[in-house]
Every structure is written in structure tokens, then in C-alpha cells.
Amino acid sequence: MRSRSAVLAALAATAALVLAGCGGVGGGGAPGGGLAPNTGEQGVNDINELPRDQVADGGDLRFPLDALPDNYNRNQVDGTLRDGKFVMDPLMPHAFDALADGTVAVNTDYFTSIELTSESPQVVTYTINPEANWDDGTPITWVDLQAQWQAQNGTNEAFSVAGTTGYEDIVSVERGVDDKQAVATFGTVFAEWNSLFDNIYPASTNTDPATFNTGWQAQPLTTAGPFRVETVDATAQTITLVRNEAWWGEPAKLDRVVERDALADALANNEIDFYAIGSSVDLFQRSQGIPGVEVRQAAEPTYNHITFNGGEGAILADPALRRAIAQGIDRQVVTSALIGQIVPEATPLGSFLYTEGSANYVDHSAPVAFDPAAASAALDGLGWVSPGEGQVRTRDGQQLTLRYVTTAGNPISERISQLVQSQLATIGVGVEFVPAASADLFDQYVTPGDFDMVGFGWSGTPFPVTSTRNIYSTPGDQNYGNIGTPEIDALYAEAFVELDDAARAELGNEIDTLIWETMPQLPLYQSTGAYAVRDTLANFGAPGTADIDYVDSGFVAG
């Protein structure tokens, strides 16, 4: 089973995501220059929400990207960068919208209804908006959903798909009462069925594997959104989207969305309209000195962590050793050092499946709470002998020195790794840094398992069971540390077919408890969800768990 629903996040200062709501505070901040403490309040974002009649018609939103996507097909394995989501969301159909409270709602621009019409067998009926068309004039029909299922269900390996989860459980997608209705029948129950058809592409580009894999590399092809592509300039790393005159829904307020490779200084130079602050105290402090800019914040389902390598033959193959290492790392010190000036009273993340802001979040981290004395005792019990204070432990002639792969030149990655190195030294564990270029981090180190510890981030989704199974079950394409248990696999299998949301959440927390016992990773802190934003922007800023509303975003009228 393959999935990239939980996307990867590099530990960049601007929280750039590489493809797993709290009360927001605008502008002023809390005493001492920080934002108000993250309370984890659900259902709130910080976007200067205004009704459409108070948003001006026209204007350009100048949107910073880390880089243009390698592939504009977000269902293809190379199209999973989060920047690709920012580019393609205003252009492509998707079945559901993510909301600020962590739930989803049918996107009525594309579907008049999406319903679970049978549980045995599981059947989902998609009724397509009669007005919905591709920009070439072709109606969006059941054939588009059928072609997408066929491309993504894993039966034809010529399609290099980003994920098969859910699609592999469907046995047929057929015509319903007319061409504007698709009926999907499942051979196996798939509980989080509303995670499917998140990025719908036309059948014309989903039929041929070559078109699917490479046809979208240079630029988007046939689209169907409130915006359309005007120009793509690969040299300048800029894509310009313009209001789509063929759009059948409410017209976008903005004239254009200009997305470009840009650094944070571009905000002060009036070249972009916002930037992500992430974990960067420098960016936070600079934002407060830019006239007409305020900080907006809402808890995001994104967090930094350390992955351990527990594969066969790895020094950290023993879960007891991984737990001891975890007990030797003071996550609160790391959290305070990285984001304490931005979000005072921030605390470490205590769940692998749920982030703060989710109604299902429960902190299960107590078994590996920071306790250097207990960590040292556990290491003694495992036979790792300390030669003396300040020296690295040994066992059978081998030193307990861990290779920690870091992202070279990344101040966030470097700061975290230095803190961890210092803390582990006090319990006799050595840490050797292996700097990796950002472009090489996954291909050369993470994916092949060439590390003992490595830091990056996960960005979650509204579907935590679906999006994390591929990380913590075995085998899993994103289980980079090769750590898991049959018990975890069995609980995931049970949760995957549990249609009751509350019961599935209970199973999710059972899974989370077991993951803390196996210690495949160590969560550190959740993203601040803070953005420096022009104070004239409306319905835009810190979205929290919600999707960006490109139709209603714009500038305050008047």
C-alpha cells in the first residue's frame, strides 16, 4: 500500500513543506513580543474573515513559493511538494474542502452531493455539479472519476502514483443515473473514504501513463477552477494565475495570483504579500518591523520530529534503546529554544496521529518523558557501559555513537541537532553530524535508511488514520526507520474499516499509545502556524487546518 497523504516537511526557517485550529492572534501579540499561547482551540483560524461584499474586486495576491513544482500532477510521485498544492488548488477539482475545525465538507462547486449510500458493500455516490466543466469545454463526468481510480489503484505499475490508499479498495466506478453521477463500489471497507478524489484530473490525462507521469511536468494542462494559468516562467520560477472567465461558481475576488520563488526580504520590499514564519525567531522579529504587516496565527497539523533507524543491523534496532535515547532528550528545552519567543508556553507534541487543535488529541508521551537518570539506568541495563563522566558508552567494543543526518545550511535543523547532541552527551551517548544537502536528504539518506537519526517534519491531513498508516505500519513506503509491530498493524487494519468516527478515533489513540512504546520517532513541537501578512488582506493568512479559500480571498474594500 502506498500513500503520501502525510506529506514531508523540511526543517526550513520558512517552514517550507516538501510533501503528514487554535485561536489566532493578529498583529499585536502577547507581552514580550510573542504570540498568545497556543491553546489548541479547535475550529478557529486567523484570516481576517470578512463577507464577500467587504472584499474588493481585483488586485494581485503575490504568493511566495520555495520553488515551482517538479510535476503539476499532484497524484504523481514527483508531485507531492506542498508548493504544488498551493499552485494547483485554485485550478483543479477536489471532492471535499478541509475546514478550520479539522473536519471536511463537500465542495459544492464540483459536487452537489457525495454520500455513503451503502455500507455492505460499501458504496459512495458522487453527484457532480451539472455546470462543472473542464476549461476546454468538456463536461466533468463520471468518466473522470473512473479514470482517476484506474490510474491510482495500483493495478498498472506504469502509472507512477503518489499513493494507492483507498483507491486499491475500490472494485468499480460506474455511471450512475446519468453522466454527472459516479458510483464507487468498494471490495473492502475503507473508513476514511472522504479522503479520496482530493485532486481530480481529467480522464484525457489519466489514461496514458506517459501523460500521467510526465505530461504535467512543464506546466498544468487542462484545468477547472476559479483561476486558470496565464503564464509559466521556469527561468524566473514564477507561475501567474488569472481569474477564470469560464468558472461557473462565485467569481474570485482577486484578478491574479502570482506565485514565485521568493525570500522573506521580499515582503519588506513590497514584492510579496505574506510569508510563513515557521520556527524562525528572526522572521518573526523582522515581521514586526514591516509597516502594514501583522502576524496571524492558527495551529497547523505540521510538526518537527526525529526519526530513528530501527532496521535490521542498525544500532537502534532495540526499542528499549530507542526509549532510553528519547528519555535523554529534553523536548521542552528544544521546543522553548526553537519557538518559545514566538509562542510562549509552547509545549512538545504528545501524539503521532493527532496534533493540538484536533478534538481527538491526547498526550501519550509520558513513558518517554525527559528523565536522564532513568535513561542512564536503562542504558546500564542494556549493557552500554560508561567509561566515565563525559565519555561515550561502549558495549562489546562498540561505541554508542549515533549518526545524525542534518540538513546542511538549515538553521532550524542545525539548532535542533546541536541541542540533542548536547543533551545526549550527558547520558554518555555520542552524536556525529552528517550534513546533507537539502536536495539529497531523502534520496541519499532517508529513503535508503542511511542514518541513525534524522530530523524533518510531517504535515498531517484531516484523515489521520489513512495518512499515518504508511508511516507506522510494516511495510510502509514512508516507514523510513523500518520500525513497527504486528499489534500496530492489526489496529490500523481494524481502524481502516471502522466507519464510526468516534470508534475510529478511539482506535487511533490505541495505535498512538503503542507507537510511543515502540519509539520509531520522537515528535518535538508543532508548527507555530504563524504568518507575516499584509494587514489589508481578507480571508487569508493563517488557515490552521483549513484549505485556503481562493474565491473569497482578497483585499479589504474601501
283, containing H or E segment: helix 281-287
- Contact, 324 vs 331, CB < 8 A? no
Return the pLDDT at 477: 78
Return the pLDDT at 81: 75
Radius of gyration of the chain (CA): 24
Domains of the chain in start order, with CATH, are 302-526 (3.10.105.10)
- Contact, 545 vs 359, CB < 8 A? no
C-beta atoms surrounding 106 within 10 Å: 17
d(CA 118, CA 169): 15
Return the pLDDT at 67: 86
d(CA 110, CA 83): 23
Return the pLDDT at 31: 29
d(CA 376, CA 382): 10
d(CA 186, CA 172): 7
| One pLDDT digit (tens) per residue for the chain, 558 residues | 433 334 444 334 322 233 332 222 222 333 234 554 444 455 589 999 999 999 999 999 999 998 899 999 999 988 987 889 999 999 999 999 999 988 999 999 999 999 999 999 999 999 999 999 999 999 999 999 999 999 999 999 999 998 899 999 999 999 999 999 999 999 999 999 999 999 999 999 999 999 999 999 999 999 999 999 999 999 999 999 999 999 999 999 999 999 999 888 899 999 999 999 988 899 999 999 999 999 999 988 889 999 999 999 999 999 999 999 999 999 999 999 999 999 999 999 999 999 987 889 999 999 999 999 999 999 999 999 999 988 999 999 999 999 999 999 889 999 999 999 999 999 999 999 999 998 789 889 999 999 999 999 898 889 999 999 989 999 887 899 999 999 999 999 999 999 999 999 999 999 999 999 999 999 999 999 999 999 999 999 999 999 999 999 999 998
- Contact, 236 vs 260, CB < 8 A? yes
